[in-house]
Amino acid sequence: MITFDWPWLFALLPVPFLLRLVLPFAASGNDAALRVPYLGDFESGHYTSTQRSLRRWPLLIYLLLWLCLLCAAARPQWIGDPVELPVSGRDLMLAIDLSGSMDHPFSHSFRNVTKLNATKAVAGEFIEKRVGDRIGLILFGEQAYVQAPLTFDRTTVKTLLFEAVTGLAGKSTAIGDAIGLAVKRLDTANNKDRVLILLTDGVSNAGEIPPEKAADIAAQKGLKIHTIGIGSRGSRELNEQTLRTVANKAGGRYFRAHDVAELQQIYALIDELEPVERDTQSYRPTWSLFYWPLGIALALASLLALAALSRRRWR
């Protein structure tokens, strides 16, 4: 809808009429040197009425020009529909293992899928639910790197997660480096509610910093870490003790997923442990429209100026 920021300016609308009543008329420069007492006798009635009608047009244009100037000065604005803003929720970083073992089968009902594909499906649903959180994505193998910085754009984070492939960051597993990178990225965030969810299926066998040391640094920075270990029952590749120690030091919890169903339950439980703030905020986008009436006023002023020049030319 259209609103005026300064509607009281329309109170000036009758000013031209008041000035016309109060101020004296300007002296006319067109007075004839010789007056004809009965000039009306030489004019037809049709010509006189037409002339009077034409004289009214400049007055109407002046009034319209004045109205347009008042409209422009009153600051007209177009106010759009309410737009919801992201609420101030958590800064949440996902760290996903891309080592070679993530390409191994993972139990899912009556068929097997790879650990990475199961992680993509379950973590993707988790990301979709985190409305109001800023979410980032770290992918790690032998090295760790930020695939998506903290953002409210959940669709992009989900897309980047689905595009990840095993071996992209090397075949080994650098859990400590992934934690250290998350600490670095989340330390710059101006938010106390910062959470890292780290998922892996192996043993930390690469990187420059041990996972336990990285967890100590995270705890000092106030970063909470939840760790998820995935792998079939009896798997010897997973070092649960390290993941449990990391979670305990950083104020989080350790979870073990033996199949896809358990992985879904874990992410659902984390969603409950780290609830999203549901308070909604919105604003109405506003566009200024003053240039439309101002442009019309300038066009009318130009029209009156051209008319005045034409009259002078043909005298």
Give the confidence band of 161 by pLDDT, cuts at 50, 70, 90.
very high
Assess whether 102 and 164 both reside in one domain.
yes
247: in domain: yes
Assess whether 101 and 58 both reside in one domain.
no
33: in domain: no
Assess whether 236 and 290 both reside in one domain.
no
Mean of the pLDDT values across residues 225-249?
A: 86
Assess whether 219 and 247 both reside in one domain.
yes
Mean of the pLDDT values across residues 163-176?
A: 86
Assess whether 74 and 100 both reside in one domain.
no
Q: Is the pLDDT of residue 42 over 50?
A: no
Assess whether 153 and 267 both reside in one domain.
yes
35: in domain: no
Q: Which pLDDT value is given to residue 314? A: 63
Assess whether 158 and 260 both reside in one domain.
yes
CA distance 315 to 307: 13
Q: Which pLDDT value is given to residue 24? A: 76
Q: Is the pLDDT of residue 298 over 80?
A: yes
180: in domain: yes
Assess whether 203 and 228 both reside in one domain.
yes
Mean of the pLDDT values across residues 272-301?
A: 80
Binning the chain into helix, strand and coil, the percentages to the nearest 5 are 45, 20, 35
pLDDT in tens, 51-97: 455 456 777 888 899 999 999 999 999 988 876 655 556 889 999 99
Assess whether 203 and 130 both reside in one domain.
yes
Quote the number of domains for the chain: 2
Give the confidence band of 306 by pLDDT, cuts at 50, 70, 90.
confident
Give the confidence band of 39 by pLDDT, cuts at 50, 70, 90.
very low
Residue 112 pairs in a beta bridge with: 107
* Domain of residue 250, residue span: 85-273
Assess whether 115 and 182 both reside in one domain.
yes
69: in domain: yes
Q: Which pLDDT value is given to residue 239? A: 84
Assess whether 240 and 290 both reside in one domain.
no
Mean of the pLDDT values across residues 204-224?
A: 91
Q: Which pLDDT value is given to residue 234? A: 65
Q: Is the pLDDT of residue 41 over 50?
A: no
Q: What CATH number does the domain containing 212 carry?
A: 3.40.50.410
Assess whether 254 and 269 both reside in one domain.
yes
Residue 97 pairs in a beta bridge with: 140
Q: Is 6 helix (H, G, I), strand (E, B) or coil?
A: coil
The answer to whether the beta carbons of residues 154 and 124 sit under 8 Å apart is: no
pLDDT in tens, 96-147: 999 888 888 886 555 678 889 999 999 999 999 888 788 999 999 888 999 9
31: in domain: no
CA distance 177 to 139: 11
Q: Which pLDDT value is given to residue 158? A: 94
Q: DSSP string covering 56-82, please? A: HHHHHHHHHHHHHHHHHHT-EEEE---
Mark residue 132 as left, alpha or beta (left: phi above 0; alpha: psi -120 to 50; beta: remaining).
left
Q: Which pLDDT value is given to residue 150? A: 92
Regarding pTM above 0.85, the answer is no
124: in domain: yes
123: in domain: yes
